[in-house]
Amino acid sequence: MLKVEGLNAGYGAVQVLWDVGFHVEDGEIIAILGGNGAGKTTAVRAVTGLIRPMSGSVQLDGVELCGKKSRAILDAGIVQVPEGRQLFTEMTVYENLELGAFSPAAKARLPESLKECYGYFPRLAERVGQAAGTLSGGEQQMVAVARALIGLPKLLILDEPSLGLAPNVVDDILEVAYGMAKRQGLSVILVEQDVTKALGTADRGYVIENGRVALSGTAEELRTNEHVKRAYLGI
């Protein structure tokens, strides 16, 4: 469903990504792995149009999106949960969730989508009227994921969901993403520094080092790869 090829991208004249390529199928979860500053976030920013790639191709279901504006890419069905969540902290949980329904289809389905999200994250149902800024970090991440799902994405991008959160909250979030992928065919890109967690959830993964894809394979292949074990799993 998503096919990225020959992606070169960066900031101003500084190139960060070199000839990056990866693909995601319907209902598949891929992990994009790598250390600090490897270029993972830059890769997803290039996919979502937050930065304009220098060159390359980003195709969703055969439609070229490279160079399109982020709004057009969102409308095409690619929704990102950004690193750091970016909620409207003064607004209530409900108001934040409502903002996820940006398309007519998502607006029409909002009551059902909300019910589903409260099912996935019961804690949100108890806090609908509370200002989002007063929630715990884990609850805020749940709002961010729920808001993205309310947009009815074809492809959900989770950028560092484990950042600063308790492991059980991260597990809950990954479980929801896994369920949506396997039951409803949602495709997921999981950007993670926590390689153990990422490979525990993903079907396949790509390791980015110095802005290039250094390795790719199934989760099992990567878990047992000597370089991955040494560099990322500490074994």
Under the rule (CB under 6 A), what is the footprint of ligand ATP?
A: 11, 16, 34, 36-42, 193
- Helix (H), strand (E) at residue 201: helix 195-201
As measured in angstroms, the least distance from the Cβ of 235 to ligand ATP is 21
CA 118 – CA 121 distance, rounded (Å): 5
As measured in angstroms, the least distance from the Cβ of 39 to ligand ATP is 4
CA 170 – CA 159 distance, rounded (Å): 12
Instruction: Return the number of the residue (212 or 229) whose C-beta is nearest ligand ATP.
Output: 212
As measured in angstroms, the least distance from the Cβ of 44 to ligand ATP is 8
Whose CA is closest to 55, among 3, 10, 1, 23?
A: 10
Instruction: Return the number of the residue (38 or 148) whose C-beta is nearest ligand ATP.
Output: 38
Instruction: Return the number of the residue (34 or 77) whose C-beta is nearest ligand ATP.
Output: 34
Instruction: Return the number of the residue (130 or 193) whose C-beta is nearest ligand ATP.
Output: 193
As measured in angstroms, the least distance from the Cβ of 131 to ligand ATP is 28
Instruction: Return the number of the residue (32 or 114) whose C-beta is nearest ligand ATP.
Output: 32
Whose CA is closest to 97, among 65, 59, 132?
A: 132
As measured in angstroms, the least distance from the Cβ of 38 to ligand ATP is 4
In eight-state DSSP terms, residue 174 is H
CB count in 10 Å sphere of residue 184: 10
CA 134 → CA 87, 89, 151, 227, 232, distances in Å? Answer: 11, 8, 24, 42, 34
Contacts (Cβ under 8 Å, ≥6 apart) of 47: 2, 4, 58, 65, 73, 78, 157, 189
As measured in angstroms, the least distance from the Cβ of 150 to ligand ATP is 26
Instruction: Return the number of the residue (157 or 180) whose C-beta is nearest ligand ATP.
Output: 157
Contacts (Cβ under 8 Å, ≥6 apart) of 226: none
